[in-house]
């Protein structure tokens, strides 16, 4: 069975859980559109949430044949893969006196901020997650797209660091972006990038006639390039600094990721049932001066078909600062 967060909300009796799911969806184009295969179970006596699947690596081919000749046999190549549902979220504490005397609920405020932090972490892992280097993470697009036929890296960086370069090299970016998308089996549903890259692509798209807008699930306008939504994956606060979910390397270069969402392409994985998001609110009637609340998101991401996700690399959007 597969569900979206909107569908998971319908099956929830708790109004707070429903509100939290809406908050996850409202500020995340990806979480709103992502389908979750909620088929993961630890099983009897199990302790890991492992999802097994077959990944299409090489599609089948067709050809003509002459009379009295046989076709040359050729099969689609599949690979057995596994991924694990990861647990992300956090807890917060509120003094009961503060909750009782504050003009606005401190619990509601802290809950909203924890949802925002968890959503930002998911965005960061969606791109940068690496289960090999950190067992609490799932593999993100950067890992799953690497060295595939839809990863395009120009020999020379596409320099978009100035207005003049944007005007002169904009057509180069468009050509490379269209080329990367042409390598995919289907037109992508979304283009993922950082905020600076989105602003530049909006300008290029507008100047060259590729810019338009569509509405999201909440009636808001979404910028598109050639009909494909352009999404800024935002920033992530790691406890020490705020970083872009899709960053720039030491040369000031970034990437644009293209994704086809769906169970045959890029989708989420989650435990059986409607257990993608769970909220634990403190019980104010129980003893104890300090109350604890928690928010959890149980999810992972897989690329079922390597031809339904791609990346365009080596796009220079920032001139690095050279330290003296």
Q: Answer whether residue 70 is part of any domain.
A: no
Give the separation between CA 302 and CA 80, rounded to whole angstroms.
12
Tell me which residue range forms the domain holding 179.
150-259+307-316
Residues 186 and 138 in one domain: no
Residues 85 and 223 in one domain: no
Helix, strand, or coil here: 6? helix
Q: Answer whether residue 23 is part of any domain.
A: yes
Residues 159 and 251 in one domain: yes
Q: Answer whether residue 115 is part of any domain.
A: yes
The pLDDT of residue 44 is 46
Q: Answer whether residue 321 is part of any domain.
A: no
Q: Answer whether residue 322 is part of any domain.
A: no
Q: What is the pTM of this model?
A: 0.92
Structural domain count, the chain: 2
CATH code of the domain containing 112:
3.30.2400.10
Q: Answer whether residue 324 is part of any domain.
A: no
Contact residues for 101 (Cβ-Cβ < 8 A; gap 6+): none
Give the separation between CA 314 and CA 312, rounded to whole angstroms.
7
Residues 268 and 254 in one domain: no
Q: Answer whether residue 71 is part of any domain.
A: no
Q: Answer whether residue 21 is part of any domain.
A: yes
For each of the chain's 324 residues, which pLDDT tens digit applies?
789 999 988 878 778 889 999 999 999 999 999 999 998 987 545 567 899 998 887 778 899 999 999 999 988 888 899 999 999 999 999 999 999 898 899 999 999 999 999 999 999 999 999 999 999 999 999 999 999 999 999 999 999 999 999 999 999 999 999 999 999 999 999 999 999 999 999 999 999 999 999 999 889 899 999 999 999 999 999 899 999 999 999 999 999 999 999 999 999 999 988 789 999 998 888 899 999 999 999 999 999 999 999 999 999 999 887 654
């Amino acid at each position: 069975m597969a569900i979206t967060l909107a569908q998971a909300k319908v099956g929830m009796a708790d109004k707070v859980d429903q509100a939290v799911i809406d908050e996850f969806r409202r500020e995340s184009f990806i979480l709103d559109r992502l389908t979750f295969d909620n088929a993961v179970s630890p099983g009897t006596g199990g302790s890991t949430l492992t999802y097994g699947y077959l990944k299409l690596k090489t599609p089948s081919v067709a050809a003509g044949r002459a009379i009295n000749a046989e076709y040359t046999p050729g099969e689609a190549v599949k690979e057995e893969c596994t991924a694990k549902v990861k647990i992300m979220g956090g807890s917060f504490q509120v003094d009961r006196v503060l909750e009782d005397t504050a003009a606005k609920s401190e619990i509601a405020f802290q809950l909203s901020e924890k949802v925002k932090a968890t959503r930002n972490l998911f965005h960061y892992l969606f791109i940068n997650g690496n289960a090999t280097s950190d067992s609490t993470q799932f593999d993100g697009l950067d890992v799953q797209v690497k060295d595939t036929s839809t990863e395009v890296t120009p020999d020379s960086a596409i320099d978009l660091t100035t207005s003049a370069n944007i005007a002169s090299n904009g057509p180069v970016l468009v050509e490379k972006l269209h080329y990367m998308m042409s390598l995919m089996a289907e037109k992508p549903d979304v283009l993922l990038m950082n905020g600076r890259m989105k602003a530049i692509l909006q300008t290029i798209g507008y100047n060259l006639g590729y810019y338009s807008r569509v509405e999201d699930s909440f009636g808001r306008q979404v910028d598109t390039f050639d009909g494909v939504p352009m999404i800024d994956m935002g920033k992530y606060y790691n406890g020490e600094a705020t970083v872009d979910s899709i960053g720039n390397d030491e040369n000031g270069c970034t990437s644009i990721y293209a994704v086809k969402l769906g169970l045959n392409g890029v989708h989420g994985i989650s435990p059986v049932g409607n257990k993608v998001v769970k909220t634990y609110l403190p019980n104010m009637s129980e003893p104890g001066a300090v109350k604890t609340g928690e928010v959890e998101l149980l999810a992972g991401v897989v690329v079922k078909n390597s031809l339904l996700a791609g990346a365009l690399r080596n796009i220079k959007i920032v001139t690095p600062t050279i330290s003296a």
